[in-house]
Amino acid sequence: MSVLTLVRHGQASFFADDYDKLSPLGEQQARLVGEYWARQRLPVDEVYMGPRARQRRSAELAGHAYREAGLTWPEPVPLDDLDEYDLAGLSKSLAPAFAKQNPEFASLGATFMQSTVEVERLRSFQRMFAMLLGHWQGLAHDVEGFESWPAFRERVQRVIRRVQERQGRGRRVLMFTSGGFISGAAQWALGISDKTVLEMNWRIRNSSFTEFVFTGDRFTLDNFNSLPHIHDQKLWTYR
């Protein structure tokens, strides 16, 4: 069987003007990915990366570290379908309308905007964002301005089918993506509920590995959210 490894990007610049940029720690995490695979001398057959800067930069740094060991790293293939949820669309199109109809969500948004302490901002953002995604999943119809939950699920499954349909046995395929896509792939493999897939998403660590074994008609979760390349838990992050 072949192996598909989904790698979450390194830590991004949360609450910065440009979130879609690896933090210094995020860059370190990405380099450690490549160094680990180089030490293991794992052959890599295919590398794909999502369209976001944090995803592309993670693939770049991991590949550079891998090549420094004298090993061959395939040229990464950009793949738009590896993108995260449509965060911009949800924030601009769905959140304002949801705030008007749900006082609790509106209150959470106000609390987030007024928070000045980082811990408080993170806590209020998490509660607000989790509530927004739950609302998004439950929409009974498509809404113009953002990708629907069924469309997102179909996108994840489309990537998986693409990998399965390629010829060759015993392939090792790497994909640099984000937590939403990774939890969506796990849902496809395990058949878990929409609510559970969101809860799983919150626990996915930066630069972690989630691995599946697959054939043309089989797709099985083999390893979830592991960090064999980072032993120091002080370097573990979730944003």
Every domain of the chain and the residues it spans = 2-85+149-235, 87-138
Is the pTM higher than 0.85? yes
Mean local confidence (pLDDT), 16-26: 84
For the beta carbon of residue 107, count every other beta carbon within 10 angstroms. Answer: 13
Name the least confident of 79-88, 116-125, 155-164, 200-209: 116-125
What pLDDT is recorded for position 17?
A: 63
Query: Higher pLDDT residue, 127 or 118?
Result: 127
Mean local confidence (pLDDT), 130-156: 86
Task: Please check the confidence at residue 216 and state whether its pLDDT lies above 90.
Answer: no
Mean local confidence (pLDDT), 22-43: 96
What pLDDT is recorded for position 126?
A: 81
pLDDT band for position 113 (cuts 50, 70, 90): confident
Mean local confidence (pLDDT), 171-187: 96
Task: Please check the confidence at residue 152 and state whether its pLDDT lies above 70.
Answer: yes
Q: Listing from the earlier edge strand, what are the strands of the sheet with 172-177?
A: 77-78, 46-49, 172-177, 2-8, 209-214, 219-226
Name the least confident of 47-51, 90-94, 110-114, 184-188: 110-114
Give the homologous superfamily in CATH for domain 2-85+149-235.
Answer: Phosphoglycerate mutase-like (3.40.50.1240)
| Mean pLDDT taken over the chain | 91
Asked whether the beta carbons of 92 and 145 are under 8 A apart, the reply is yes
Give the tokens for residue 99.
């705030």
